[in-house]
Amino acid sequence: MPVGGPRLNPDLRYGTVPADASSGVAGEYAHVGIRYELPEAEASSLMTTPIDRTRENARFEDAPQEARFATSVAAFGELLKGCPYTGTLRLDDVARMASAAKGEDPFGYRAEFVQLVRAAKTAQGLGSP
């Protein structure tokens, strides 16, 4: 956009000056904003929420089922691409997380994902020729 032109984005929420308790952003990890438009709508809507300690769970098992299953899918992708930040996480851990968070699975997609993780584990054991 040209200098001095109309801005599409609001001012930064987290500037270069450290946030203090009175700023309203102290203790926040992030601020998520999602803009969406319903098919029949003429204007979009913005939904925002801060992410801070009030959104934390003390244990992974206490997190919502959907978040735990999504985490297992993301972890699987990270392991497949050889991400260096997976630490000690292994395919067995991913299968265990996904199985524990499978919940209702009317079409069997989540069970199929667990089978896919187990197949990857088997393929990993075969090694390369």
Sorted by where each begins, the domain ranges of the chain are 60-126
Closest CA to 49 of 30, 66, 36: 30
- Asked if 68 contacts 60 with a C-beta cutoff of 8 angstroms, the reply is yes
Per-residue pLDDT of the chain (129 residues; tens, 9 = 90+): 567 777 777 777 776 655 555 556 778 888 888 999 999 999 999 999 888 888 889 999 999 999 999 999 999 999 999 999 999 999 999 999 999 999 999 999 999 999 999 999 999 888 765
- Would you state the pLDDT for residue 83? 93
- Would you state the pLDDT for residue 128? 60
Provide the whole-model pTM.
Answer: 0.69
DSSP letter assigned to residue 5:
S
Pairwise CA distance, residues 79 & 93, whole Å: 11
Pairwise CA distance, residues 80 & 120, whole Å: 9
